[in-house]
Chain A
């Protein structure tokens, strides 16, 4: 079935780096825009980054701009989030999500999430 599976989360010290991956299956990955969305413990959803189908249009939330880099490997159905200069307030569950082809706004498929903890 259509699925997104994140990996790469873990415990990292402030100032450290981590790379998250999201493996897509059972759909034509290159046809969909993708995003990373995070949720701090006990908090709401926060959109982090967007990448277009071809990877030529990229957006970042102000809170991560200059520190995080989104990319995609459509040949292998993979989405990435390179996170550098991590801070305690980056601690969250990180979800990858597929953009709906019927909406410029909605995300119709979500992964199960991967936890990132930034702590010394």
Chain B
């Protein structure tokens, strides 16, 4: 089974900072990679799919990149409402998630 590994597991940054989260697949998955945001006590929300395509309604400060085994989620200017845990997911077959990255405001 393909494993998804995220780093870091948590981070703290200031409002306005650029934040980058990394996701690595144990085998190549082309661009079948999604990112979800889960705010405390809420249901996960799809942010990005196909590694870099923004889901409708998602702010443009979120972006994704990568292909094969290495992917990144970038928040260009961190906002207070971005406090959440972010999960990557490979979805070409099955739907394995990474372990999550908790983002907090410093």
Q: Do A and B come from one complex?
A: no
Residues of A within 8 A of B (CB): none
